[in-house]
Amino acid sequence: MKRTAVLLASAAALVGSPAFAQAGQIVPTETPGATRPDQPAEADQGVGANAQAQAAAQDSGQLEDIVVTAQKREQRLRDVPVAVTALTADTLIARGINDVAAVTRAVPSLTVTQTDVATSNSINIRGIGTNAFSIGVEPAVAVVLDDVALLQQAQAFSGLSDIARIEVLRGPQGTLFGKGASAGVVNIASQAPSSKLEAGVATQLTTDQEFRLDGSISGPVTDWLGVRANFFVVDRDGYINNRAGGDRLGGEKSNGVRIRVDIDPTSRLNIALIASTSRNVTEPVRTFRYIQSANTRIFAVQPYFAGNLLAPGLVGIVPGTGNYETRVNVRPKSDSEQSLYIGRATLDLGFANLISVTGYQTWDLATREDTDLTDLASIAGNAGGVSQISDYNARQFSQELRLVSSGGGPFSYVGGLYYANGHTDRSFQRFAFGPGAQQWTGRAGTESYAAFGQATLNITGTTHVDGGIRFNRETIDVRFTDLRSSATAATCGTGCAGDSSDDQITYKAALRQDLNRSTMVYASYATGYKGQGYDVSSGFTPTRASTPIRPEHSKAYEVGLKGQFFDNHVQLNLAGFWTDYKDFQTQTAANVGGVLTFLLANAPRLRSRGIEGDVSIRPFRALRLDGGASYTDARIQEFSTATCYPGEPFVVGTVATTPGVCVGATTSTGVQNLAGARLANAPKFKYTVSGTYDVTLPSLPFDGFVQADWSYQSSVNFDIGGNPLTFQRGYGVLNGSIGLKADDGRGYQISLFANNLLDKHYATQITAASGSNTDAGVTNTGLATAQFLSRDSRRYFGIRARVRY
């Protein structure tokens, strides 16, 4: 088995792929491209696997056919010319995936940059993502929940519960999913009501003091009405020791509830109503990773602190990769509340299905940070030193109408209209001395109209052409007011406002060829688009209000193979991709008047190319092996005016040509040329290997199982500017579980599990510590970096129990 796993990982690393699913949904054998006979052409995203077909596959020892909605209709994965990974409910439970960040353990092309403020997180696919502080910039990876796109990507980090399936679509998906999908889509579908009355409860207890409880009840009320309700509660202690207060930070308290009602007033009409609300309260905090010397200072340019030395704030702390200790005198907080209301109606017109999806979402986030990461007081008498608070409030209404062709035949299509209107408000206050103090309010709004269509033509029984196009018109607006007493018209003290509109067409085309009944090859070309945006952050000016960041464009080429072999005991998916981006939107920073000021900029050109591979092997009924690997070369092609990183070698000049050298009249105004540099948090190699072995115990009323998964990624730099102090070496994480399960109509399962068994410490973000030597080329004050260590970066053990009636 060990040799098999090694060979599997090696093969996957060499070949690469577009789709990986474990314990996937299945459908009966049918003509490629056809829809399920027991479902409309557009199937409900919450529908589970066909129970009888799944049981047949289990008994035969075969792998399941996987069903996805990557093209907004239910299709077998092997019929879809899109690189997509599908993770089903059983996979999520077995591998302990309870949030979006944990999905990276099962999807090699996916990485997540996660820090102490959710709005600074980013989801990256094939090295491409958007790490921006501004509320006026949309992500490159769209997150869609029950067919409704979330307005702010930070909303996706509130945890997962009662999920039927997660699909990760790689590459530009703008034709069907809209303007915020220039790099890909994370499509999440919750569970639908069941056809029979059932209930379940699951609990989890861990050695790091987590208690989690999930519960659901589902079933028909009448022959035309079905209901499903679920809830979750999470209570976990902190894992970061705060030496200033003797307490522990990093804990979590979360809860949520979702209710779904399915109504079938006639045989041709289905209505699904979904209401969900959740709250997630955490105390995230960064720790010091590196301190250059005893002379290192914080906020070195401005004398915010008496003495200005960092050393007094480090008593008892040893900076390093395994530093889970801090000294902060302002308790951090991230308090997120989210509600989502969805109405989905499907009308069978005979020749097609008309689908209406109406969504309304609200999201509120309150944050508090100890910005200097110490318990030092400022010379202005602020006992909290440098700290900041910020509140976010987002609202969005959306409406989509789709017409989806029914049945088989040589021609099928999806067409629709889309409208969305949303806004996000933010208030911000930084408590500091001098120009570091900030207080402002801002609002960013967006209104979009779109028309789209995609069609499939079966030229022959084995040759298929897919084509799609989308027209999008967006109007964005911004308002900003500097509330400081020293504010002037130049800093928007009297208020600044702006608006801008943009029209864009994106399209895609694909050619598919069936080699036999179970193997397909394809080639595709797609364009992507991410809208223009406003840089709503400290330092906002009338110029920013009148000049939004330019939109981001992408062109993607992809070839792939999807196939089943050895009587469906092996499934193999391969893909090669090449994507060029123009005007990539990226977060940078500059020294403005001695204060580190964050800015958005457009990198003129970058490229992401590579290969991906996924393989599933089931040599016999009791054993299943899954592996995935990716090689991604994501590099900047042109960016000669990038911000210099702290401490970068400096020369006086006018044109930056040499990477790693800051050029300018002064260190505060210097720039560097990043042509050829790798993107931030974009590992060149990443692979995952997972195995499950079922142990039959004929003489007992239950069976056993053993499960393990290993994920590895190569080194990354978290700074697009190439700061060597924000570099992280490659690492691997091993997880596993062992347990008992029974399914006698009241199924139960209990397991012992280990997270990060080898206790490998890793950061999900590394940054230059706030205010630490903000001038490039200055070394006499010393350098410092801070890191965010997630809870999963430490080893812990636990027990999971699940009962279903």
666 domain residue, yes or no: no
| pLDDT value at 544 more than 50 | yes
CA dist., res. 338 & res. 592, Å (int): 36
Range of the domain at 471: 2-639+674-804
Higher pLDDT, 510 or 21: 510
Give the model confidence (pLDDT) of 582-614 as tens digits.
999 987 765 555 455 667 888 999 999 999 999
- Report the CATH number at residue 471: 2.40.170.20
- Mean pLDDT for 80-84 is 90
CA 734 and chain centroid, separation: 21
Our count of domains for the chain comes to 1
Q: Which amino acid is at 509?
A: A
**Of residues 695 and 668, which shows the higher confidence score?**
695
Residue-wise pLDDT for 514-541, tens only, equals 999 899 999 999 999 999 999 999 889 9
pLDDT tens readout for residues 269-294: 999 999 999 999 999 999 999 988 76
User: Which segments of 480-609 does DSSP mark as H helices, in order?
Assistant: 542-546
Map residue 801 onto helix, strand or coil: strand
Question: Within a domain: residue 304?
Answer: yes
Asked whether residue 489 is domain-assigned, the answer is: yes
Q: Three-state SS string across 392-414, please?
A: EEEEEEEEEEEEEECCCCCEEEE
Q: What is the pLDDT of residue 61?
A: 78
Is position 230 within any domain? yes
Through-space distance between the first and last CA atoms of the chain, rounded to whole angstroms: 35
Mean predicted confidence (pLDDT) in 476-503:
95
More confident residue, 145 or 435: 145
**pLDDT > 50? residue 97:** yes
What does the pLDDT read at residue 382?
65
pLDDT at 796: 97
Q: Higher pLDDT residue, 158 or 170?
A: 170
Banded model confidence at residue 230, pLDDT cuts 50, 70, 90: very high
Could you give the 3-state DSSP secondary structure of residue 156? helix
Residue among 86, 202, 6 nearest 753 (CA): 202
Neighbours of 329 (CB within 10 A): 18
Number of C-beta neighbours around residue 152 at 10 A: 21
Residue 657 lies in a domain: no
The C-alpha atoms of residue 375 and residue 384 are separated, in whole angstroms, by 7
Residue 800 resides in a domain: yes
Bridge partners for 706 per DSSP: 693, 738
d(CA 406, CA 32): 14
Mean pLDDT in residue range 441-448: 96
- Of 27-41, 165-179, 333-347, 636-650, the least confident: 27-41
- The confidence score (pLDDT) of residue 386 equals 83
Does 647 fall in a domain? no
What's residue 235's pLDDT? Answer: 97
Sheet of strand 325-326, all strands in order from the earlier edge strand to the far edge:
247-249, 240-242, 325-326
Q: How do beta strands 650-652 and 716-717 pair? A: unpaired
The size of the chain, in residues, is 805
Ramachandran category for residue 473: left, alpha or beta (phi over 0 → left; psi -120 to 50 → alpha): beta
Q: What is the pLDDT of residue 308?
A: 55
User: With pLDDT > 70 as the criterion, what percentage of the chain qualifies?
Assistant: 86
Residue 383: what pLDDT? 66
Query: Is pLDDT at 301 greater than 50 in this prediction?
Result: no
Identify the sign of the CA torsion 150, 173, 21, 632. Answer: negative
Residue 515: Cβ within 10 Å count = 11
Tokens of residue 679, six digits: 């993107």
DSSP string, 194-252: PSS-EEEEEEEEETT-EEEEEEEEEEEEETTEEEEEEEEEEEE---EEETTTTEEE--E
Q: Return the half-sphere exposure (C-beta side, CA atoms, 13 A cut-off) of residue 621.
A: 10
Res. 262: pLDDT tops 70: yes
CA-angle at 777, arms to 771 and 779, nearest 5°: 70
Burial class (CB in 10 A: 0-12, 13-18, 19+), 52: exposed
pLDDT score at 774 = 43
- Condensed to tens digits (0 to 9), the pLDDT of residues 610-647 reads 999 999 999 999 999 999 999 999 999 999 888 888 88
Q: 676 exposed, middle or buried (CB, 10 Å; 0-12, 13-18, 19+)?
A: exposed
The pLDDT of residue 39 is: 37
Q: Could you report the per-residue pLDDT of 132-144, keeping only the tens digit for each?
A: 888 999 889 999 9
The pLDDT, as a whole number, for residue 49 is 40
**Residue 522 included in any domain:** yes
The single residue listed with the structure tokens 């999470």 is 234
With beta carbons less than 8 A apart as the criterion, state whether 776 and 647 touch.
Answer: yes
Which pLDDT does position 245 carry in this prediction? 82
